[in-house]
Homo-oligomer: A and B are copies of this chain.
Amino acid sequence: MIVEESLARTRDYIRQWRRDGSRIGLVPTMGYFHAGHCALMKKARERADRVVVSLFVNPTQFGPSEDFSQYPRDMEGDCEKARLSGVDLLFCPRADEIYDRQDQTAVTVSELTKGLCGASRPGHFRGVTTVVSKLFNIVQPDFAVFGEKDYQQLAVIKRMVADLHIPVQVIGHPTVREPDGLAMSSRNVYLSEPERQAALVLHKALQTVRQEASRPDGSRRTAELVAIGRQMIASEPLCRLDYFSVVDGSSLQEHEEITAGARALGAMIVGSRVRLIDNLELLPGRGEG
């Protein structure tokens, strides 16, 4: 496996692979790999001749009061996990190469970024879409794989790719979970043991809401489903609700009654600072991912 920092040398590898007719897959990440990341890499491995993983903790997608400087890093462990997942090139650019000193260009998606995480984290998705545009232009992959845990991110990137006619296929991968159901996240490492137990409430709330929505005589009313989820999270003293919403899986808009592809999404702060998110499809349908 090649580990490369330089944009120019990364382009050189890619150019050679293109010339050979290789199909190239990209997995954009912020590192500190867990089984979720490795599943994305393996999915890319199955579909590509060459798998590129970018590892870049993107400063512009963190707010001023967020955990950019504390975001966990483990270069050695990441190299080993990427290698074992069949990655060909681990691309670890420097921030000052991704963002030139005079940088002043942004890519923005408007409607899809207004609610959910976009409401709690102003500027977050602007940072995501801008950096993903840059990575797509550098690596020029045939396809890119993103996890469904960041469901709004996946929907936003699909929209950006369609709108800008970017020649990259965007592939979603189902959320990978711990045995007890907690969604894998690099931020789980921050949880104390009681917080780790309390954090389960988000997945449980999503499951309960799905059960209710799937029961033949269950509620299809968004307000009722949302109330169930919010109440469950509110009952967990170590967790503070950010949002719990039930929306259409494509438009991310809330409707009065749910239809095929409806999705529940939640975010909460566990303990004093660990923000976790998760989501589940409520009714099978034409959802993103």
Contacts and interface: CB of A to CB of B under 8 A. Distances in A.
B107 A159 contact: no
A134 B164 contact: yes
Contacts of A106: 107-108, 110
Contacts of A167: 11, 137, 140
A100 interface: yes
A163 B60 CA distance: 14
Q: Find the residue from A103, A106, A162, A165 having the highest chain B CB count within 10 A.
A: A165
Interface residues of A, number: 30
Interface string A94-116: 00001010111111111110000
A107 B105 contact: yes
A7 B162 CA distance: 12
A104 B164 contact: no
Given A134-B164, A134-B165, A165-B134, A104 B100 contact: no
B7 A165 contact: yes
Contact of A164 (B133, B162, B163): B133
Contact of A108 (B7, B105, B140): B105
Interface string A136-155: 01101000000000000000
A198 interface: no
Given A164-B133, A165-B134, A104 B159 contact: yes
A16 to B, nearest CB: 15
A155 to B, nearest CB: 11
Interface string A75-104: 000000000000000000000001010111
Contact of A104 (B11, B111, B138): B111
Contacts of A232: none
A160 interface: yes
Interface string A118-133: 0000000000011001
Given A104-B163, A106-B108, 17 more contacts: A11-B167, A100-B163, A102-B159, A102-B162, A104-B109, A104-B110, A104-B111, A105-B164, A106-B110, A133-B164, A134-B164, A134-B165, A137-B164, A137-B165, A137-B166, A137-B167, A140-B167
Interface of A: 7, 11, 98, 100, 102-112, 129-130, 133-134, 137-138, 140, 159-160, 162-167
30 contacts: A7-B165, A100-B162, A100-B163, A102-B159, A102-B162, A102-B163, A103-B163, A104-B109, A104-B112, A104-B163, A105-B107, A105-B108, A105-B109, A105-B160, A105-B164, A106-B107, A106-B108, A107-B107, A107-B108, A107-B133, A108-B108, A130-B164, A133-B164, A134-B163, A134-B164, A137-B164, A137-B165, A137-B166, A137-B167, A140-B167
